[in-house]
Amino acid sequence: MSDYLIRGIGEGFRVLAVDSTEIVNEAVRRHGTLPTASAAFGRALTMGVIMGSMLKNEEKVTVTIQGGGPIGAIVIDSNAKGHVRGYIGNPHVHFELNDHGKLDVARAVGTEGHINVTKDIGLKENFIGSTEIISGELAEDFSFYFYSSEQVPSIVALGVLVNPDNTIKAAGGYIIQVMPDATEERINELQEMSKTFRPVSQLIDEGLKPEAIINTLIGEDAWRKLSEIPVSFQCNCSKERFLDAISSLDPTEIMKMIQEDGGAEVDCHFCRNKIWIDKTELGQLIQR
């Protein structure tokens, strides 16, 4: 079954849960990431699709994670339609397991940097939020982001299980956010409950779908489903977009491409697709 996300609501909170296994598998395949990089990239993509699902209509969000680690920057684009794409600075990062027997995502991401979020919500100016990276594991970092930048206490879980052949066995995540009308007692209850939650990647690996994950976390009677949306790795790159970008170059640079290479090969950072633009198309750009 294809990846999908569930949105729900309960007493004093809202909850979103997603199975992102296919999304992460597709991204890992396209970018050729090694296991530790795959885990970091997968967590970021999962958070991106969750954040995109909080938007509406044509709104979109870009998340940049730059922690100073060897993995470099991770950039994620997502929108309200359930589409997500991303790229990773250095996909060839892998370390031995950490002291907890897990892939060492924090070492790959680093802890000397920031999470930057830019939301295009149709206003004259974009919403921009930024917080420090405090752990490098990403779930805790995004929980800190929502609390510090958007003033919304949030429980965030992100998980990726990587197979020995570097395909993705399971990936997913959830967020539980406190609503403005939540009582202090309810907030404390949610915080105590979260201490007993099992890893989300483990739940998905056991075959649990987003609804069942929420039921396992907070109980079947504690929430109601609002909506379900399919989610997928999708890139909006096209030859037309690349032509527009090249047209902004100095005509002498375009002429150099024609004379030296007979055209230009462009590579999309997000999906790794390569597109060839021949000399005739480049010549038409000069004539514009």
The tens digit of pLDDT for each residue in 132-162 reads 999 999 999 999 999 999 999 999 999 999 9
Query: 241 vs 115, which has greater pLDDT?
Result: 115
Rounded to whole angstroms, the maximal C-alpha distance in the chain is: 71
Distance CA(150)–CA(186), nearest Å, equals: 20
Does residue 53 come out as left (phi exceeding 0), alpha (psi in the -120 to 50 range) or beta? alpha
144 three-class SS = helix
- The reported pLDDT for the residue numbered 1 is 58
Whether residue 169 has pLDDT greater than 90: yes
Task: Quick: pLDDT tens for 97-135.
Answer: 888 888 999 999 999 999 999 999 888 888 999 999 999
- The reported pLDDT for the residue numbered 32 is 96
Q: What percent of the chain has pLDDT over 90?
A: 68
Distance CA(24)–CA(263), nearest Å, equals: 33
Query: 176 vs 255, which has greater pLDDT?
Result: 176
E strand residue ranges, the chain: 4-10, 13-19, 60-66, 74-79, 83-88, 114-120, 127-132, 154-162, 168-178, 223-230, 232-233, 263-267, 274-278
Task: Quick: pLDDT tens for 15-48.
Answer: 999 999 999 999 999 999 999 999 999 999 999 9
> What single-letter amino acid sits at 68?
G
Whether residue 265 has pLDDT greater than 70: yes
Task: Quick: pLDDT tens for 61-95.
Answer: 999 999 999 999 999 999 999 999 999 999 999 99
Query: Mean pLDDT across the chain, nearest whole number?
Result: 92
- Tokens of residue 149, six digits: 């930048």
Q: What percent of the chain has pLDDT over 70?
A: 99
Question: Do 49 and 77 meet the contact criterion of CB atoms below 8 Å apart?
Answer: no
Give the pairing of strands 263-267 and 83-88: unpaired
Give the pairing of strands 232-233 and 74-79: unpaired
Domains of the chain, CATH where assigned: 4-233 (3.55.30.10), 239-286 (3.90.1280.10)
- Across the beta sheet with 60-66, the strand order is 127-132, 114-120, 60-66, 74-79, 83-88, 232-233
